Structure 1
Amino acid sequence: MSEHAFSPEERAAVYRAIAERRDMRHFAGGEVAPELLARLLEAAHQAPSVGLMQPWRFIRITTRDLRERIGTLVEEERQRTAEALGERSSEFMRLKVEGIHECAELLVAALMDGRDAHVFGRRTLPEMDLASLACAIQNLWLAARAEGLGMGWVSLFEPQALAELLGMPAGARPAAILCLGPVHDFYPAPMLELEGWTQGRPLAELLYEDQWGRRP
């Protein structure tokens, strides 16, 4: 055991947060105390980023009108997605895909304007700015679970329409709508598994050694 390892209790808490994190769609209203929200956002801000570019920007939505308009954008994309799914359209429409109207806090996570100036780590993998933002979102997600709050990542929206709604400059773009707040219960398994939409695959099917497709 490394001398730098956490205590057994601390390690168990970290692994528990990872295992019990859920993409939540059902919220219980309520509030998130300002000091708690600040703590969660600081956790997000402590994420790693390629070249220390810190490409994330978080926009907190505080007005009911703006929340409703964001909800409308999501609903429009939900309808388009259902049409694209063909024979699974009706099944998809029965799924709850967001908690925008019920969650205590609504955030939009975006990539910054001018990120192309950060060549370090992006010359051959330009998507690393998005990967860095995803790390920040995961930090926020795990910290929220540890605090007993649910979070849901909503990706059903047309980015340009949301960018215009939020007055974002050219070059900046939204990547996620994040619903955050108290929940009545956490799902015992991913919601899409519980709803019969799909099943997660075991790690053994996704782990290779030395060459693509070669099992350990």
Structure 2
Amino acid sequence: MSSSPFSSAEREALWAVMEARRDCRHFLPSAPLPDAQLQRLLQAAHLAPSVGLMQPWRFMRLSTPAWRARLAPLVQAERQATAEALGSRADEFLRLKVEGLADCAELLALVLAPDDGTVFGRRTLPREMALCSVGAAVQNLWLAARAENLGLGWVSMFDPEALGAALQLPQGALALGLLCLGPVPHFYEQPMLSQVGWRQGRPLQDMLLPAPDDHAN
């Protein structure tokens, strides 16, 4: 890998990919991705930073029709429970498409590995820093997929204990997502929840917190 400076065109390409990335729910029914392409995308995820170099991400390929059929009821059950929790917005929520398990080219389980005892950088926040590391891996995967004109959707609607049992995860592991990956009919012009009027994103300025007064002498 070259360590030479990146060109302005390369920087612009990176920004274009970040701005065009979307959490996708609509997929074109497609054949499985070529093994080399899937391996390349997972390698992008594996390039992510991790606290203490613990690399706590694990991926499980579940793209067969049998697995999709087995996992769909877990997602549907949580979708109904979410609708009930939303009260007056239940019907509006149920009209939203929230996953693409049946149509995506590839379905991957995202798993947080059992704690390997890493202390460096996470002594006071052991689970939190592991979760942050997994999130960084998914962001890498998301950007790599978008760069290859593929959509990725992170499905979090399921009971993690039920999914963990279905996947026979070891003690201490945690199911964090079902990742739908593959060709899409189009990429949303805006995040889908903004596009359909469910919720609007907030500007960066709202995320900048003022520092408290420094009274040190």
Shorter-chain TM range is over 0.9
Query: Aligned residue for 1:210?
Result: 211
Corresponding pairs, count: 209
Aligned mates of 1:154, 1:27 — CA distance in 2: 14
Q: Deviations over 1:106-145 (max 9, x none)?
A: 00110112x1511222211121001000000000000000
Contact 2:54 2:116 in 1 (8 A): no
Letter in 2 for 1:88: R
Query: Aligned residue for 2:96?
Result: 95
Q: Deviations over 1:84-112 (max 9, x none)?
A: 11111111101100001010000011011
1:56-135 aligned at under 5 Å gives the runs 56-113=57-114, 115=115, 117-126=117-126, 127-135=128-136
Aligned mates of 1:62, 1:137 — CA distance in 2: 18
Query: Aligned residue for 1:167?
Result: 168
Letter in 2 for 1:12: E
Letter in 2 for 1:28: L
Query: Aligned residue for 2:25?
Result: 25
Contact 2:22 2:188 in 1 (8 A): yes
Aligned mates of 1:121, 1:69 — CA distance in 2: 38
Aligned mates of 1:24, 1:40 — CA distance in 2: 16
SS in 1 for 2:68: helix
Letter in 2 for 1:77: E
Deviates more, 1:202-211 or 1:127-136: 202-211
Deviates more, 1:30-39 or 1:96-105: 30-39
Aligned mates of 1:100, 1:106 — CA distance in 2: 7
Q: Deviations over 1:25-67 (max 9, x none)?
A: 0001213111110000000001000000000110000321111
SS in 1 for 2:84: helix
Aligned mates of 2:113, 2:70 — CA distance in 1: 22
Q: Deviations over 1:132-190 (max 9, x none)?
A: 00000000000000000000000101000000001111111111110000011100000
Deviates more, 1:8-17 or 1:120-129: 120-129
Deviation (angstroms), 1:209: 4.0
Letter in 2 for 1:26: H
Displaced runs of 4 or more, over 6 A: none
Query: Aligned residue for 2:39?
Result: 38
Aligned mates of 2:26, 2:65 — CA distance in 1: 18
Contact 2:63 2:108 in 1 (8 A): no
Query: Aligned residue for 2:16?
Result: 16
Letter in 2 for 1:23: D
Aligned mates of 2:145, 2:212 — CA distance in 1: 37
- Are 1:182 and 2:154 counterparts? no
Query: Aligned residue for 2:140?
Result: 139
SS in 2 for 1:117: coil
Structure 2: state its 5+ residue gaps: none
